Structure 1
Amino acid sequence: MTTCRLCGSSNLASVVDLGATPPCERFLTSEQLDEEEPSFPLHLRVCTSCWLAQIPPLITPEETFTEYAYFSSYSRSWVDHAKSFVDAAVDRLALGRDSFVVEVASNDGYLLKHVVQQGIRCLGIEPSRNVGEAARAEGVPTSTTFLSESSGSEVRDGHGPADLVVANNVYAHIPDIVGFTKGLRALVADDGWVSIEVQHLLTLINNVQYDTIYHEHFQYYTVESARNALDSGGLSLVDVELLDTHGGSIRLWARPREVTGEQSARMVDVLEKEKAAGLHELSGYADFSANVTRVRLDLLRFLVAMEEAGKSVVGYGAPGKGNTLLNHCGIRTDLLPYTVDRNPYKHGRFTPGTRIPVLPPERIAADRPDYVLVLPWNLKAEIMTQLSYVAEWGGKLVFPIPRLEIVEVNS
């Protein structure tokens, strides 16, 4: 990669090089274990002109999202988060039965089902056929397509302009930022709102959340770089909320450039926090690679020590982020014999690259391991409740990020 995908600058500086890994959601069937498995470089760089952090666009969204392994509704906390957002947005924007809400990358309808329940007209735009079918089965109108300026215009022509366009956890997933942003502008009414949730680069850097760097995520945003990206498509950022989701996210509120008001005080505050952390210059990125190495070594030392001591360690969860961690650390079945996941789609499959079996969650209670390595560490509170039963045999939970933490749970 020689130029920035947002501004075209050639001023790209290395942040961390994680080697080469397979795509994080390409879970293998048993029949695929003896087949060749492609891997791609995973090297994060930052543009010193517009401050967009990015990886090379080596995998197209069509390769990843036509058939997708992630279903949002399997996380209870994520469904609750979506409901809270819908309730707050309805109040904030005075949405009613005459309103129209569109969600881009609507997955299995985890969010829009709350819009449907309020009697508000809505439409999901979801490129993955399998999860889109699940949404329609739940009564959420869903169009199977990728968002672009032309498809956004088609939706607007067919359904009318949207009072609210939601794009949660998708703004990092598209290599054509400008075209996608123009698609958002095409969808939204001239006096409407766009709400975007995306992981905050500030918390990624500060908390060494390097496992969220994977091929589905083409870029990583500060509020400063998000403002630049939105402007490229005719939208202006006017407000920002800090969220706890995914270890630390930002909710961006944008409007068509023609109706933009003043920036909110909390947006100005977050921009100042980023500047103080050095993320609008190279100094804020200088220690990240060394901190990644520390996380890797701490986890490997623990797993090797437990193997030598005859203690059992298994995994919990099979998220995309977990596969970055497992591959970067070189963890395979000798140190982690299996992981479990609540999503039946992944049962009987194997993690990409490391070939670790994914089993149903009930396996943990049957085997009673000494330690459970939690790969979706961002759902810590939810998972500590789900795994409280490991206390029955004195089991402990292990969280690898931002630093290795061994936690006793109460049954």
Structure 2
Amino acid sequence: MDTCRLCERPDLRGVLDLGATPPCERFLGPSELDLPEPTYPLHLRVCSSCLLAQLPALVTPEETFTEYAYFSSFSVSWVRHAARYVADAVARLGLGRDSFVVEAASNDGYLLRHLVERGVRCLGVEPARNVGAVARENGVPTLTEFLGPETAARIRDEHGPADLVVANNVYAHVPDIRGFTAGLRGLVADDGWVSIEVQHLLSLVRHCQFDTIYHEHFQYYTVRSAQQALATGGLVVVDVELLPTHGGSIRLWARPADAAGPPSAAVLEVLAAEADAGLHTADGHLGLAEDVHRIRADLLTFLLETRRSGRTVVGYGAPGKGNTLLNHCGIRPDLLPYTVDRNPYKHGRYTPGARIPVHPPERLALDRPDYVLVLPWNLRDELVDQLAHVADWGGRLVFPIPRLEVVDPRSAQGQPVVRSQR
């Protein structure tokens, strides 16, 4: 990777090298365990010119998203988040039965179903065949395509311009930023809105959320770098909201340049916070590696000492971020015999790289482990509630990021784990 994918200048600097790992959603079937498994470098870099943090596009979107293991509707809190967003967008933009909404990367219809219920005309654009089929079965109109200028033009010709284009948790997943952004502009009406949710690089750096770095995330945004990316398609950021999702995200509201107007006070405030954190300079992105080393050392020490003492630790969840954590820390079934997940698609499969088996959640009550390592830590509130029964046998939850904590799921009070206390 020699040049920046946004500004095309050869000014990239290394920020964090996590070694080589397999694609995070490429779960293995039993027949694949004796076969070679491809791995790809996972090295985060930042452009000194435009300050876009990025990974090389070693795994194509076609390889990752044509058949996909992630279904949004399995997260109760995520569906609720989508419902709140729809209610807010309807009120903010005055959406009704005469409106048209398009969502890029609409997954299994977790968001658009709330518009369908309101009678708002909508369309999902979802590249994964298996996921899009589920959306259609649930009554959400869905086109199986990757979004780009040509797809946008076909949709606009058939359905007309969109009053709102939603792109939640996809803007980091497209290596062709310019083409995807042109697709967003091609879909939206000249006086319409584009809404984007994406993890905030400021939160990633502040809280050392290194496990959210994986191959299907091609770039990581500040508001400043998102402004520059959207400008390539003639879109202007006019407002921003800070969200707790994914450990800290931003919701960007953008409009075509002729309809945009000046940015809100919130945009200026977030830009100032990014500048104060040093993220408007390339040097400000450095230092993440030392925090990653601390998290890795603490987690491995905990797992090794727990194993020596004869106590048991299993996992909860099999998210993409968990596979970055497991592989970078070198955690294998000797330290984490299995994990459980609510998604039946993953049952009977094995995590990429670490090859940890995935079972249904009911396995926890059968085995009664001493500790449950929560891999989707970003769903902490939801999972503390779901896993309250672990306390029935004296079990505890373990959260690895931003620092190692052991939690009583009934009190939900985390205590930082200090090595000398183990």
Please report the TM-score for the alignment, with normalisation by the length of structure 2.
0.97
Equivalent residues in 2 for 1:5-404 (5 A)? 5-404=5-404
Structure 1 SS opposite 2:373? strand
Structure 2 SS opposite 1:95? coil
C-alpha contact (below 8 Å) 2:47/2:282 kept by paired residues? no
C-alpha contact (below 8 Å) 2:17/2:44 kept by paired residues? yes
What percentage of aligned pairs have identical amino acids?
Answer: 69
Per-residue CA deviation, residues 237-272 of structure 1 (Å, 9 max, x unaligned), is 111000000000000000011211110000100000
State the distance in 1 between where 2:122 and 2:392 align: 46
State the distance in 2 between where 1:285 and 1:52 align: 11
- Report the CA distance between 1:357 and its aligned residue: 0.1
Greater alpha carbon shift after TM alignment, 281-290 vs 387-396: 281-290
State the distance in 2 between where 1:286 and 1:3 align: 19
State the distance in 2 between where 1:375 and 1:240 align: 28
Amino acid at match of 1:295: I
Per-residue CA deviation, residues 124-177 of structure 1 (Å, 9 max, x unaligned), is 000000010000011000000000011111100011100000000000000000
- Report the CA distance between 1:285 and its aligned residue: 1.9
State the distance in 2 between where 1:289 and 1:122 align: 43
Structure 2 SS opposite 1:140? coil
State the distance in 2 between where 1:233 and 1:44 align: 25
- Report the CA distance between 1:283 and its aligned residue: 3.4
Equivalent residue, structure 1, for 2:419: none
State the distance in 1 between where 2:238 and 2:401 align: 32
Greater alpha carbon shift after TM alignment, 232-241 vs 171-180: 232-241
- Report the CA distance between 1:202 and its aligned residue: 0.1
State the distance in 2 between where 1:12 and 1:145 align: 31
Per-residue CA deviation, residues 330-382 of structure 1 (Å, 9 max, x unaligned), is 00000000000000000000000010000000000100000000000000000
State the distance in 2 between where 1:409 and 1:174 align: 37
Amino acid at match of 1:148: G
State the distance in 2 between where 1:258 and 1:90 align: 23
Equivalent residue, structure 1, for 2:416: none
- Report the CA distance between 1:216 and its aligned residue: 0.3
- Report the CA distance between 1:286 and its aligned residue: 2.3
Structure 2 SS opposite 1:8? coil
State the distance in 2 between where 1:201 and 1:128 align: 26
Amino acid at match of 1:379: L
State the distance in 1 between where 2:10 and 2:362 align: 51
State the distance in 2 between where 1:314 and 1:260 align: 50
State the distance in 1 between where 2:40 and 2:136 align: 34
Structure 2 SS opposite 1:190? strand
- Report the CA distance between 1:282 and its aligned residue: 2.8
C-alpha contact (below 8 Å) 2:51/2:282 kept by paired residues? no
State the distance in 2 between where 1:338 and 1:117 align: 39
State the distance in 1 between where 2:111 and 2:60 align: 25
- Report the CA distance between 1:9 and its aligned residue: 1.2
State the distance in 1 between where 2:405 and 2:47 align: 33
Structure 1 SS opposite 2:154? helix
Structure 1 SS opposite 2:194? strand
Amino acid at match of 2:281: E
